[in-house]
């Protein structure tokens, strides 16, 4: 795990945007297309807006999500809606978008589609909740053990968090760890403590610990107090 500390959340967002843009550009030198999975929630807005202004060949980039809620894209809690409003604009308007949820009332159809067609993911940018949830792998959701199983053959699962709004679709740990590089964007001391403690304990109590403790892909943490 590589820890990058910034004075403000805006500094962290700008630096993360530059790092992700540089990594996308580097990969586009040797790959025809690059796919990046993005976080949702409330905090990625500044990062998305900064990244959308970076100059690179966005027409060869596919953007997808780490997780989304089973709501229409027009709903304020839709992660796809957030990406469309704040990332797929400016230079990044040329990127292709691969939503996880296309039929909120029929998530099984989306799971089948994702299993069959989701492109290989090169980079992942995560956020994390104050309970240590990563994507929508929540510590208290009944499906989380399945989502964290190393040998889970599915790209994504349906999750029903008992203490957070909306049923969700989230990519599985197994699928996320096929990426070659992981970035984690977090703010505040409470989240920093969980990530640091995750270095000592691999536990379903903090699903993020499965990403902190793996050795497949470097995890770059971007943090501001």
Report the interface residues with ligand LXAUTJHC, using CB under 6 A.
39-43, 66-67, 79, 126-129, 135-136
What residue number has its CB nearest to ligand LXAUTJHC?
Answer: 41
Nearer to ligand LXAUTJHC, 41 or 147 (CB): 41
Other Cβ atoms closer than 10 A to 101: 24
Measured from the CB of residue 28, what is the shortest distance to ligand LXAUTJHC in angstroms? 25
Other Cβ atoms closer than 10 A to 77: 17
Handedness of CA 115, 120, 125, 126 (dihedral sign): positive
Measured from the CB of residue 191, what is the shortest distance to ligand LXAUTJHC in angstroms? 8
Nearer to ligand LXAUTJHC, 21 or 101 (CB): 101
Nearer to ligand LXAUTJHC, 59 or 225 (CB): 225
Measured from the CB of residue 80, what is the shortest distance to ligand LXAUTJHC in angstroms? 11
DSSP conformation class of 60? G
CA–CA separation, 67 vs 17, rounded Å?
20
User: At what angle are helices 9-28 and 45-52 packed, to 10 degrees?
Assistant: 40
């Amino acid at each position: 795990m590589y820890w990058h500390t910034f004075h403000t959340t805006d500094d962290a967002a700008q630096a993360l945007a530059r790092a992700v843009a540089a990594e996308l550009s580097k990969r586009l030198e040797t790959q025809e297309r690059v796919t990046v999975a993005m976080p949702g929630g409330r905090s990625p807005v500044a990062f998305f807006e900064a990244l959308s202004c970076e100059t690179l060949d966005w027409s060869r980039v596919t953007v997808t999500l780490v997780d989304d809620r089973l709501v229409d894209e027009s709903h304020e809690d839709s992660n796809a809606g957030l990406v469309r409003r704040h990332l797929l604009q400016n230079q990044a308007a040329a990127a292709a978008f691969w939503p996880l949820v296309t039929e909120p009332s029929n998530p099984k159809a989306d799971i089948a589609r994702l299993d069959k067609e989701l492109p290989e993911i090169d980079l992942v940018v995560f956020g994390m909740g104050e309970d240590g949830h990563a994507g929508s792998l929540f510590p208290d959701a009944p499906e989380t053990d399945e989502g964290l199983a190393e040998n889970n053959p599915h790209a994504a699962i349906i999750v029903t968090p008992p203490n957070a709004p909306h049923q969700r679709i989230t990519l599985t740990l197994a699928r996320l760890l096929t990426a070659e590089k992981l970035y984690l964007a977090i703010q505040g001391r409470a989240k920093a403590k969980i990530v640091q403690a995750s270095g000592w304990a691999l536990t379903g109590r903090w699903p993020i610990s499965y990403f902190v403790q793996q050795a497949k892909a470097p995890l770059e943490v971007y943090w501001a107090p």
